[in-house]
Structure 1
């Protein structure tokens, strides 16, 4: 194992030598190259735009989604859509003023780019019709009378048509005080041919509809995926404010820590350059920033600051022995190159393991985070010491470091107790107790959303208030689960098919969480009763195929496809909570297993709730696979670097405890594992491993000099432990401000990241030395003479 590690590490050791020579012997040329690249990528970064897509949010290779994509053209209006409710403050909607507004809003929505105009539905569109049985047979027509002129007579006729249309509870509220416009969306903008810009679409809804038509007498309520994304992007603009506050806090605390203007501004500048490079590369590669990856630039900044503090601290300490700026910077680079590179490579590969999750938005987040870490290697591991070799930390910072050295740092002595056998035993017993408590609490961790509406937004947000209005006033909720009944061509209207669909509907309507359902079978029964003078005894499926064919002479769009091989069964759910979706999915799959045949198959799933069910299943399978990859990669790199399984345990076990406690915290706070929250665990591991690698690399250096563990750890605390503690506290203070964000999932991320920053820091400072003392690695395993010689190289 040792020979394998040496052979794998040899290229890294050689790269250290030639990079050091290149960096410090050709400084003007290297610095000029950095400036040029920063200008080019800065120009790219300012062009990056918000980027969100409905397709990116769903697992494209999941069987549910594959089924939907197979029949996508036959399921118009049952995929990505927006619902606009126009409500009146008056007695009801049957007045001229309200109907004028509803007509204008319908027309306005019809012409917005990205709307599937053929499937748009409103009582003002010709595809919404009424039917009636008379002594002469069936009569019918569009809900809006052809001779509508706003008179009392035409309004009364409109009222009658609405009642006869069967749209009460669907397009017209149960209390007749509002009406809905169903707005199916295309995946692309037909004017540009590019992917639909949800931010621009949401802004059009606000300016062209809500702002234009909302008044004291009319209120507008908008729900749907596009509006959620639009509100998230709108709220994300405040992320810049929190980012600025984090920079300001870091600036103040870093100066108080280093007492050096150069040691404050240069690490911050290099960290911001890393963010600029990351955004520039993303734009150059064709990526944008979506609401779920908007926090990645801050994480890149946080990781960069963490490494920058270590480098500045090392330069400050080296300056005590050699005040020459060039020598101090070069010695610090030599000391931190391998542990810093190991930590950053671990971060980058760990983040890249998010690619195992088959959801495009998470895969793009993995690319963004990995790119960010890759550029930190250049901006903070190379550029920062290069700049410091010109400017240095300053005399005041050196005097401050000398004063601290003279004082001996005895306040750190207390922590060395955890490097003794007794202290280590105490720490490990507490850690085991936390494992038990965390494992017990984490049992309640759920997959998916745990709240109604849009959990990414606050409960009192405008979107969730709009969603509550719709669910309160309509019989059909906005949570739609579509099951596809697939037959041979021209067989969807056969009696056996319709009777099986009817049986399926009866079964599903008894499932808790299912409000109601609708299918071609319902239409056939209603028309059959109408053909028989409206007698309710005839409201059933006829065994006579000619009667069924007559009942389906006119079928509204969305209930069957053109060649009669597909009929969707639309289930309206109470909500899209994880329990509801899991229960409905299991019942549908159970029914399909029992009743699918060669002539009829029930396939899942479409509708917003169907897609969420698929997403939840992918996340449930992938979350532990992702963690296995993250910890596997990080462990392997630590093993190659330190060549000791015991050392790997010392670094990894504190991170594992933090991950477990984070899951427990999510369960206690009612935060489900979903697209918005799943990556945070991997990101927390990536940031936390840096602390352990830096501390153990310095501890290993002192142990290789023959020091006892307690003495070696005391010296480690005086040199590396202090910047680790400072970084953890600074980053925690920066992200804890996110709790005030109007975006709930950002507030949740702020709490989770604060927790992980602090616990990773405590794990590195307390549990790592305790594990080292308990495991008692042999000297040849704790020392790494080929990596760290007597000069710290």
Structure 2
């Protein structure tokens, strides 16, 4: 009775679709237009992802630091090792470029050799004066410029590591953007349309190769690459899936309508991004392509069923109606399980993944709805399939492939279990070798010029990623106490001994420079003042920086003088060592700064990102457990059998373990991009399991509960669709390997590989388990009255409903 009611429901849906074809097409068109109107609301990300919840202590500390010192990532650096810079023509061009950059309203401050200031003592006002390092009247003199270079490298230790590398002679300029624009579209426009053209103009004029980097610069070009690749992915996915589709069906009509459906789905996905106000990030940029990759298998399943039905009775209208009637529940449930696989990311409490989970799961259900509505309507207007279109149902390569599977399952089940157990053991060994990556730039496009520039700065200046230490003295003007400065100096010495970090910068460096200036610039006096010297030297330093835009101290001491900042840079490749580095700094800080008098916070982008990766990994485990739980619950509801739950989980768990083990052997680390592989692959692979088990249960009822006959009959129907969809998914996800982003390449390759393992597991291991456990799984009481029936109804049952109506 329940099945008849279910058939009646889908019979009603089929009639509504086929009798209201024009109205439905107009409705789809109107919805598409409405979504297209949302495209102008699409926003692009201007920051890298923060993977930690806002209320987590890591984020609280980081935001506390930003409140005191503003956005840390506002520094852009430009550098060169070319000694030609200190020739009259090149130096003048450099000065012109830096002057132009300083004049831009988006720029707050430029520190460069052409405008560099030297502290000079002025006894009459008891202060230091900032005097120009460069005498502009002499810059046409080659000898003067060479002496200027020597003076910079040998007599100004304050700027070492900040503006020059004494060993290699690399020179750089520091451009501080207005902190208000760092996370806005204005920053992107400035970098792309003002800064880069100025750099190119200088290079063309002088022939000197410049290197540029810094977080605003990296973010901008990284985001631009993401946007550029969206079109590449969509085009490649359409081309590859279209070619595979045509190869399977040999029908231009079927291929064309399937591509039109997924293109509409892509248009809806962009519209939904705009409607929900989500930014295009490295993850949401994948959604339009996922719509194509997931939509085409839906088309394959429905068109394959249409061809099977037409081959039975050569009645097109009847075939179209029965495509909906006989597959409605099954296709709905398999799409729901796929959507649930992505929806588990919503539970991670991470904005980036929540948005990805929401937008993807909605679009999966939307593309299913489009396929269900448009395909029957389209084929109702087109001629019936010809024999060439139906030839794919009995292709020789398919017949040979399934003959091998049947023979393996029939005669070599012990070997199947042996191979599965061996792969499980190998996978577990590989899992123990997996590393966790805390790298911010590891997933960035390695074939781009800006990535080469990152490596240049890591080599010459020990990195561009800032590690920040904020010291709260718990009293106003406490930073400038000599006792505090000495504690900070000792902490900086510890930081300087850590090989992964650059030379640290803080107000300590400025106070040392003040003493050097007090003693007429003698570099031997670049040190903290003694207790006898502190009163007049510190008063000189304070007077020199009052209400000055060129206040060198304002970046390292807050306006109240209560908070101090120490900045060091870390090479991105050392992200995985962040915990050990922080532990070393923390141990020293706790000794130097008693908690009763001071509070020390260690933060910065690399630290936040590395902790975010670990947080994400913890959430991966919970989201995977949720995916398993949801799938198990769905199977239990559908089949009312705990044994079926186990049989459905095992063939899908093995491919995940194999992929994780392979990551360990190939040194592919766990990182935000690769962590997603498991949830995505599981959600999609379990579809094949449900289709196989549903078909198997139907064959049991057809074949008088004869186990072997039912299992092998299942291959004749469900096997083809499982094979076709798996091939499309494999090549569809392989499209992401065209990316220049390492993370996207890994995501595409690993998901494709996992789905391939999943297909073989569902076609070989799953039926082997069913046959081995046949006595318990064939219990008629467990199969007759499921809570949700996703079985394909028999022709007799459909006929009964049609006659009744």
TM class, shorter-length: 0.7 to 0.9
Higher helix residue share: 2
1:471 alignment partner, one of 458, 476, 501: 458
- Residue 562 of structure 1 deviates from its aligned partner by 0.6
Are 2:255 and 1:255 aligned? no
- Residue 37 of structure 1 deviates from its aligned partner by 1.7
Are 2:67 and 1:59 aligned? no
Are 2:71 and 1:70 aligned? no
Are 2:568 and 1:571 aligned? yes
Taking a change above 3 Å as real, the CA distance of residues 458 and 627 of structure 1, as seen in their structure-2 partners, is: same
- How does 1:52-131 map onto structure 2 within 5 Å? 52-54=45-47, 56-57=49-50, 59=52, 61=54, 62-76=56-70, 78-85=72-79, 87=80, 89-91=82-84, 93-110=85-102, 115=106, 117-124=107-114, 129-131=117-119
Taking a change above 3 Å as real, the CA distance of residues 294 and 419 of structure 1, as seen in their structure-2 partners, is: same
Q: CA separation in 2, counterparts of 1:179 and 1:497?
A: 32
- Residue 411 of structure 1 deviates from its aligned partner by 5.2
Asked if structure 2 preserves the Cα contact closer than 8 Å seen for 1:131 and 1:138, the reply is no
- Residue 21 of structure 1 deviates from its aligned partner by 4.1
Are 2:700 and 1:703 aligned? yes
Q: How many pairs does the alignment contain? A: 770
2:209 alignment partner, one of 215, 219, 226: 219
Asked if structure 2 preserves the Cα contact closer than 8 Å seen for 1:325 and 1:391, the reply is no
Moved more, 425-434 or 518-527: 518-527
Q: CA separation in 1, counterparts of 2:612 and 2:321?
A: 50
- How does 1:658-737 map onto structure 2 within 5 Å? 658-705=655-702, 706-736=704-734
- How does 1:612-623 map onto structure 2 within 5 Å? 612-623=609-620
Taking a change above 3 Å as real, the CA distance of residues 150 and 683 of structure 1, as seen in their structure-2 partners, is: same
TM-score w.r.t. structure 2 length?
A: 0.86
Q: CA separation in 1, counterparts of 2:394 and 2:768?
A: 30
Moved more, 277-286 or 171-180: 171-180
2:403 alignment partner, one of 402, 409, 413: 413
**Corresponding position of 2:472:** 486
- Residue 73 of structure 1 deviates from its aligned partner by 4.4
- Residue 244 of structure 1 deviates from its aligned partner by 2.6
Asked if structure 1 preserves the Cα contact closer than 8 Å seen for 2:652 and 2:682, the reply is yes
Q: CA separation in 2, counterparts of 1:414 and 1:305?
A: 27
1:432 alignment partner, one of 421, 427, 445: 421
Q: CA separation in 2, counterparts of 1:644 and 1:394?
A: 40
**Corresponding position of 1:26:** 20
Taking a change above 3 Å as real, the CA distance of residues 541 and 624 of structure 1, as seen in their structure-2 partners, is: farther
Q: CA separation in 2, counterparts of 1:392 and 1:541?
A: 93
Q: CA separation in 2, counterparts of 1:141 and 1:157?
A: 20
Q: Deviations over 1:321-369 (max 9, x none)?
A: 3333232122121222222212222222321222334543333322331
Q: CA separation in 1, counterparts of 2:608 and 2:398?
A: 61
Taking a change above 3 Å as real, the CA distance of residues 343 and 89 of structure 1, as seen in their structure-2 partners, is: same
Moved more, 12-21 or 291-300: 12-21
- Residue 295 of structure 1 deviates from its aligned partner by 2.2
- How does 1:413-562 map onto structure 2 within 5 Å? 413-417=403-407, 419-420=409-410, 423-449=412-438, 454-457=441-444, 459-474=446-461, 476-488=462-474, 489-528=476-515, 531=518, 539-540=527-528, 542=530, 546=535, 549-550=538-539, 552-553=541-542, 554=545, 556-562=553-559
SS in 2 for 1:78: coil
Are 2:163 and 1:171 aligned? yes
Moved more, 257-266 or 751-760: 257-266
Q: Deviations over 1:201-256 (max 9, x none)?
A: 44226642332221352222122334334444444425534533332332233223
SS in 2 for 1:598: coil
Asked if structure 2 preserves the Cα contact closer than 8 Å seen for 1:274 and 1:300, the reply is yes
Q: CA separation in 2, counterparts of 1:714 and 1:225?
A: 59
Q: CA separation in 1, counterparts of 2:5 and 2:328?
A: 13
**Corresponding position of 1:3:** none
Structure 2, unpaired ranges of 5+:
546-551, 799-805
Q: CA separation in 2, counterparts of 1:546 and 1:442?
A: 61
SS in 1 for 2:240: helix
Asked if structure 2 preserves the Cα contact closer than 8 Å seen for 1:592 and 1:601, the reply is no
Moved more, 289-298 or 543-552: 543-552
Asked if structure 2 preserves the Cα contact closer than 8 Å seen for 1:485 and 1:568, the reply is yes
- How does 1:249-328 map onto structure 2 within 5 Å? 249-328=240-319
Taking a change above 3 Å as real, the CA distance of residues 107 and 754 of structure 1, as seen in their structure-2 partners, is: farther
**Corresponding position of 2:582:** 585
Q: CA separation in 2, counterparts of 1:15 and 1:564?
A: 73
